[in-house]
Structure 1
């Protein structure tokens, strides 16, 4: 449960870079206030690529760094700590893992490595995350398929060059058999995109696919067996999201602890009040537990351990709850100023609320823990 020397060196490079280049004012606030349709800066995305981070999960044979989930999680924790808007989680983590080993990797990996390609996952159709409930129809036509249906909460959907669309070629909604994953360029005829701003000012899309004609080569993996690449991508995304949530919790708590050391009330620093000290200590302990859980999930994924899916669900649920605690405590301890837009603490609360639901919230993953444990 400790980092290697190489992983610590990576952390030492990424932490100051994100703190400077990916900080809230030049990135999140800038792109939010400018009304950017992407919600992130392509210039920063290229900088991240120049550091070799966008392709860190891409094999060396394909021009990437050939690193693992632990290294990706270290990057994501710093992204969370600074609320850095970027497509790293969906593209460089979930997208890469879903595409690996398929014929599509050769086409799309070079653009991901170069920081020129954005990938979006079009999975959810209902109010809550439930990939097995996929109902979007993929009907055979000649040598290909016609896709018809809708998707929502497609993060970076309007900015994506490639969308990985889960569709049903067999079975019934609620079953994992019969789900097929398709690689669909966004500019294909019949794809309608409604770009919307989420609570944290990031962008997601509602997609409508109307008779979108794709050939058999668009299939990622095998027909009716898209659950394998989909699960691979989702588990990587969930483990990564857990670390980003840990970063959100750490960033919010650091800001709060600094405030406790500066704000005076009744002639004393509020950090001297024992009740606040107890709450701060409890929060610190919870963050360390969440960080250890996310690290363990990443290590098991890298090792191909059969327990990885279970631990990933544990990590996403735990990190979501801890991040919620951190931002709630942060806003409350800041008092009235914590409710204003000019103070950054509220931005952490908004980002936590969105990321908590991406790839499934604590309730969904608690259910997964029970299912995977035989209940």
Structure 2
């Protein structure tokens, strides 16, 4: 396997890194606190066509492979950007895979930056298990009625369309019987509680009370959505791990600069052997995480069993590495490492929250064991 970036991916990486280095400023991040993202950064990403790298040519993009995702999301993590591109990947990917021609047109609008998307799948009692869906959808005539709750819907209050999962058959925990629906913004019966996320961006709690949707709101075949959701989350996990990789690189760079400038006993503390050993351990963990992310991105198109084993192995390894890098970076910075005014705190929070989404390191260790034993 050739691990070098193609010429197109190298150009995308270089352009994205330059743009984000200039655009993601403390002022832009402060301005984005109320809306979850910066209109200027979002418009810039749309002008560059970055979202097009998340989809195949058949879906209206120009990429869509695992290494395209890695290229984009590593740079977002490196810069600490809060733009909801991951939600475009998740919800847009499901629409592109399951939707009809009219629904698939939404993906192109989202890729151009004119439409915000979100995925509402997790629920208060589901933890990380994709098949645990309690929200119900009942068909009456030509309409669907949805009732239930969804938790931590990233970009939920800002989205123009929300892809919502609901059970149309079976019991909670069954793999069959889960369907997906397109929920337009402002639909009656939807209560949205919006709140900020500690690492930047915003999420929402959704309460659906007898929400009526037309028949054409259904995405794909009734009751057969779980496999598509699992595929979308595998791609989302690869993107998250690449994001964590970029954030770890920035945390390491900030720590290296600090070790060179902070002096004690008349010399930079980076000359102390104990700190050199800790910095070297950070570097080793990051490079090991990079290998795991590359491995996962190279297996996203494999059969389900192989793909999911790599998903859990990578999420576990990256979660452990992210925790070590965050803790060691803060420790080697001393008191300044936990202050709001210093960038490191923002990246440490980002790494902590990235570990929690789609299953933390402990969850994926157990899942890896179960998958290998199956």
TM-score bracket, shorter-length normalisation? over 0.9
Match of 2:286 in 1: 287
- Give the paired residue count: 369
Secondary structure, counterpart of 1:313 in structure 2: helix
Alpha-carbon shift at residue 262 of structure 1 (Å): 0.8
Structure 2: 5+ residue runs without aligned partners?
none
Q: 1:30 Cα deviation (Å)? A: 3.5
Return structure 1 stretches of 4+ with deviation > 6 angstroms: none
- Match runs of 1:213-228 below 5 Å: 213-228=212-227
Match of 1:108 in 2: 106
Pairing 1:30-109 to 2, within 5 Å after superposition: 30-32=31-33, 36=34, 38-91=35-88, 93-101=89-97, 102-103=99-100, 105-109=103-107
Contact 2:32 2:201 (8 Å CA) reproduced: no
SS at match of 2:164: strand
Pairwise CA distance, 1:13: 2.0
Could you give the per-residue CA deviations for residues 241-265 of structure 1, whole angstroms, max 9, x where no partner exists?
A: 0110111111111111111111111
Partners of 2:79 and 2:156 in 1: CA distance: 23
Supply the distance in 2 between the matched residues of 1:67 and 1:137 (Cα, whole angstroms): 32
In the TM superposition, what is the alpha-carbon distance from 1:304 to its structure 2 partner?
A: 5.9
Determine helix, strand or coil for the equivalent of 2:175: coil
- Asked whether the 8 Å contact 2:322–2:352 carries over to 1, the reply is no
Structural RMSD (CA): 1.8
Paired position in structure 2 for 1:311: 310
Most deviating of 99-108 and 254-263: 99-108
User: Secondary structure, in 3 states, of the residue corresponding to 1:132?
Assistant: coil
Q: Tell me the distance in 2 between the aligned counterparts of 1:129 and 1:158.
A: 22
Maintained 8 Å contact 1:181/1:227: no
Instruction: Report what 2:136 is aligned to.
Output: 137
TM-score, scaled to structure 1: 0.93
CA contact (8 A) 2:238 2:296 kept: yes
The alpha carbon displacement at 1:62 in A equals 4.9
* CA displacement at 1:81 relative to structure 2: 1.0
C-alpha distance after superposition, 1:120-178 (max 9, x if no partner): 11111126322221101111211232100111110011111111111111121122211
Q: Secondary structure in 2 aligned to 1:54?
A: helix
List aligned pairs for 1:194-205, cutoff 5 A. 194-205=193-204
Stretches of structure 1 that go unaligned for 5 or more consecutive residues are: none
Map of 2:250 onto structure 1: 251
